[in-house]
Amino acid sequence: MDLTKREKRRLRLEKVRQESQQSQVEYEQRLEHQKQVQEHHTKSNKTKYYVIAAIIGTIVLTTAAYSIYSINKPGPYDSFAKCLSEKGAIMYGALDWCKFTQAQRAMFGSSFKYVNYHEYQELTGIKKTPTWVINGAWYENVQSFDKLSSLTGCKL
């Protein structure tokens, strides 16, 4: 049985249409697959960002907590410095620029916050810093803890 030209052409067109529809379905399936892969990568990236943010947050909080603890923990000379202030001992100095005042402060460490400290300009007549005023007497230069203890009766 011989097909006419018209029937052959119609069969070829039908075959081309079927192949075209099949190609379109395959194309749509590839697009859907790519979309799923992309969504998976996006979710994976978000998870990575959340993990990194959590780690950074933990580090920041730990550092802040340690800093607060370090600032607030008792210093080794807290009671001595408090006693000096209670006995009326006053230290006059120049923390901004005087290395001797800075050295006296360093001796107390974190306990310096309890020392009754004033800038030297607040008392006229100071020639050297630091100057300690204890019971009305002036003691110039850096003073040892032993000397401050003997002058005030404060225990080390």
Among 63-67, 104-108, 111-115, 117-121, whose mean pLDDT is lowest? Answer: 63-67
Counting the structural domains of the chain, the total is 2
Where residue 130 sits, what CATH number does that domain have? 3.40.30.10
Which of 73, 97, 119 finishes a domain?
Answer: 73
Q: Under DSSP, is residue 126 helix (H, G, I), strand (E, B) or coil?
A: coil
Percent of the chain with pLDDT over 70: 99
Domain membership of residue 36 as a residue range:
1-73
Element (H, E) at 145: helix 145-152
Same-domain status, 68 and 11: yes
Average pLDDT of the segment spanning 99-122 = 96
Same-domain status, 26 and 58: yes
Q: How far apart are CA 88 and CA 145, in angstroms?
A: 16
The pLDDT of residue 43 is above 90: no
- Number of CB atoms found within 10 A of residue 154's CB: 19
Nearest CA among 65, 61, 66, 148 for reference residue 112: 148
SS3 letters for 41-109? HHHHHHHHHHHHHHHHHHHHHHHHHHHHHHHHCCCCCHHHHHHHHHCCCEEEECCCCCHHHHHHHHHHH
What pLDDT band is residue 146 in, cutting at 50, 70 and 90?
very high
The pLDDT of residue 72 is above 90: no
Same-domain status, 40 and 87: no
Q: What is the chain's alpha carbon radius of gyration, rounded to the nearest angstrom?
A: 42
Same-domain status, 85 and 145: yes
What pLDDT band is residue 48 in, cutting at 50, 70 and 90?
confident
Same-domain status, 55 and 114: no
The pLDDT of residue 1 is above 80: no
What pLDDT band is residue 115 in, cutting at 50, 70 and 90?
very high
Model pTM score: 0.57
Average pLDDT of the segment spanning 22-33 = 92
What is the signed CA dihedral for 12, 13, 15, 20, rounded to 10 degrees?
Answer: 140
Residue located via tokens 């052409």: 9
Tell me what pLDDT residue 80 has: 97
Tell me what pLDDT residue 28 has: 93
